[in-house]
A and B are shown apart, each in its own frame.
Chain A
């Protein structure tokens, strides 16, 4: 046999796995171009969307997988703490592996979620996952393909999904913030921070970085297709 025996996808596709019913069919209310909702865990998700309990579990697994693979990583606890607060940072080695996530281990497993006791094989630190966003997008390139995305809370209480601010903690209460724009439901494509096309000398998120210029790559691709 010279064919692949089995193909799983963890980022592309509906719930990440071929053949599994898709998140594209998430029945979230509303009819805006992008719809997304933040949940603390699968239980909360299922209480809001009782008919979607199974998908809430799948979404949680996918979000934890994304957390494991793409949470911002810092070389030291200190540098993580500057941005996310010391109590919010944990060694990378204490997050579950994708295998564990796919095997269905709970995101609430205290051994890593609380994560201060076990020794770590990793020297990287990442912020704890606050919850996850699920939803569908009906606009843009990734229409209908939105992945469940982990949400993080920084040290001033702002919650982010990718780059998109999704809410804020004030006095112990979480205030949801409507996700603006057509593509910001998938925060990694969000331009709501205005990075593209200009230099950014200051922003709430880069106070410690004096000057970062962008758009130094990509100008040719704006005119032609890169693939060949």
Chain B
């Protein structure tokens, strides 16, 4: 694993626009950063792929355990969500995708920092944008990225019994819109009929959810967190609306930091896990405290690592978990986090985000990779 500095392609902005990448720059700052890339060996990619497949299996076993023991309180799952979670799991509603954020330095085993199981982004960048970059700069090299092909394949096998799959996200986020439209693009290529609307445009007529044409929404892909939906007015209609949601409701059990101590409890000393607890001070070393429901590196704090680090933000009402803290490795003064993708539970690609500091935020930059 090596960081290589590069001269950006002169026409990278035009290329980004041509492939439909609308947030290559965010608020005037570069987000897609091709002034550098990471080069891996095939053995390192093997290690990452294997760890990712393993972590997905651990997570599925955790879901099974949580549901069979009804351990919802430990994960701060709202009671109204429980019937949805159980119904989606028992009916076998399939998961499409997820992103494991890994700490990896090319030496020891990859370690799970957290699992973005419900609304993972940085998908289009990993799947399409860095592939287009590879095609033009390193056409002979390989890249750990067959995300696009795996998404189309997964949609075509999804077995959805609905005339149309609706796609929705929050209004006013270019990133969310772009990611949602990308997912819709892959579903379209798999032969599904699709339509887009914003979350606030979803209608309810007393019996069923409706789109803007007043057609019934029977199947919905939402790039919108379950825990937000559950707080909102229409959540009360979900049980009787006969709606199939992707990601399924059971992903709520994984898209929470509370699953980290559960995993450690179920699989202690697993080489791909970091020690994690619901209480402070049990790891016996430096710890990072993360809000149970938090995003983009907000509301975290580090204790006992020779200096305190913390970020602010709107999260933390549900409590925190404490995870053993290992600072991210540095490459050329930058701190990379490896976002390792599963599609239909199969590991299939990776995207790297790096930051100038050891906490990855929503302002971190996406850096492409290849391997030989």
**A196 contacts partner chain B, Cβ-Cβ < 8 Å:** yes
Contacts of B237 in A (CB 8 A): 216
B169–A226 CB distance below 8 A: yes
Give residues 160-175 of A contacting B (CB, 8 Å). 163
> How would you classify the secondary structure of chain A's contact residues: helix, strand, loop or mixed?
loop
> How would you classify the secondary structure of chain B's contact residues: helix, strand, loop or mixed?
mixed
Contacts of A228 in B (CB 8 A): 116, 118-121, 225, 255, 295-296
A225–B120 CB distance below 8 A: no
**B128 contacts partner chain A, Cβ-Cβ < 8 Å:** yes
Q: Would A227 and B234 be within 8 Å (CB), given that A2-B144, A218-B199 are in contact?
A: no
B121–A12 CB distance below 8 A: no
Contacts of A188 in B (CB 8 A): 195-197, 212
Distance in Å: Cβ of A197 to nearest Cβ of chain B: 7
The contact size tier of chain A is 35 or more
Cα separation A12 to B184 with both chains bound (whole Å): 9
B215–A73 CB distance below 8 A: yes
Cα separation A227 to B237 with both chains bound (whole Å): 24
**A13 contacts partner chain B, Cβ-Cβ < 8 Å:** yes
Cα separation A9 to B295 with both chains bound (whole Å): 29
B231–A220 CB distance below 8 A: yes
Distance in Å: Cβ of B123 to nearest Cβ of chain A: 9
Distance in Å: Cβ of A228 to nearest Cβ of chain B: 5
B202–A216 CB distance below 8 A: yes
A70–B145 CB distance below 8 A: no
A4–B146 CB distance below 8 A: yes
B212–A12 CB distance below 8 A: no
A2–B142 CB distance below 8 A: yes
Distance in Å: Cβ of B296 to nearest Cβ of chain A: 7
Contacts of B144 in A (CB 8 A): 2-3
Cα separation A68 to B205 with both chains bound (whole Å): 27
Given contacts A7-B148, A11-B181, 15 further A-B contacts (CB under 8 A): A2-B144, A22-B17, A68-B193, A69-B193, A70-B194, A163-B213, A188-B212, A195-B212, A214-B203, A216-B233, A218-B199, A218-B200, A218-B201, A218-B202, A223-B314
Could you name 20 residue pairs across A and B whose Cβ atoms are closer than 8 Å?
A7-B148, A10-B185, A11-B188, A69-B188, A142-B22, A145-B20, A163-B213, A188-B196, A196-B171, A196-B198, A212-B205, A216-B202, A218-B170, A218-B198, A218-B202, A223-B314, A225-B175, A227-B173, A227-B223, A228-B225
